């Protein structure tokens, strides 16, 4: 059985909830990623922040990214998967919640992220296509 831990990208970097969006944008650029988990001062996952969030939820509304914090954009409880959960459950979760990146949790610790790219590298073309199509539905 393939589990989330088998296909996830490990060693995830978090943006802290009290860091500004300017700091978060620099992290996104430097890491060459489109999203970062938002972690609290207790290192627990608080949400996800995307480059699109910065543009749509801050800049487009006239917000100041040098004062708006990452934590202020983390909305609701983040959708996650357990590290030892079957990969089929991860795919179903991504499809159900239409998320392109799924944080992987072991206990209360963030241990990785599963992205569409991880799926493409690990699963068949048919499974990858079905998952991407489901995630992208309106």
Section 43-66 average pLDDT = 93
CATH class of domain segment(s) 4-135: alpha beta
Distances (CA, A) of 67 to 30, 41, 59, 78, 85: 20, 18, 12, 23, 38
Q: Cα(47)–Cα(76) distance, rounded to whole angstroms? A: 7
What's this model's pTM, rounded to 2 decimal places? 0.84
Would you state the structure tokens that stand for residue 88, as one six-digit string?
A: 């089929």
What is the pLDDT at residue 32? 93
Enumerate the domain spans of the chain.
Answer: 4-135
What is the pLDDT at residue 10? 92
Radius of gyration from C-alpha coordinates of the chain: 15
| 102 contacts 78 by C-beta, under 8 angstroms | no
What is the pLDDT at residue 67? 97
Q: Cα(21)–Cα(68) distance, rounded to whole angstroms? A: 6
105: pLDDT strictly greater than 90: yes
Q: Cα(48)–Cα(33) distance, rounded to whole angstroms? A: 12
Section 16-29 average pLDDT = 97
What is the pLDDT at residue 3? 92
């Amino acid at each position: 059985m393939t589990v989330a831990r088998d296909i996830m990208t490990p060693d995830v970097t978090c943006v802290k909830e009290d860091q500004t969006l300017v700091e978060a944008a620099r992290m996104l650029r430097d890491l060459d990623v489109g999203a970062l988990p938002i972690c609290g001062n207790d290192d627990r996952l608080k949400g996800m922040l995307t480059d699109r969030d910065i543009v749509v939820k801050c800049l487009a509304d006239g917000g100041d990214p040098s004062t708006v914090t990452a934590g202020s954009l983390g909305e609701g409880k983040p959708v996650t998967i357990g590290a030892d959960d079957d990969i089929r459950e991860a795919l179903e979760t991504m499809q159900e919640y239409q998320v392109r990146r799924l944080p992987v949790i072991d206990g209360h610790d963030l241990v990785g992220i599963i992205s569409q790219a991880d799926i493409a590298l690990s699963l068949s073309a048919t499974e990858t296509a079905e998952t991407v199509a489901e995630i992208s539905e309106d």
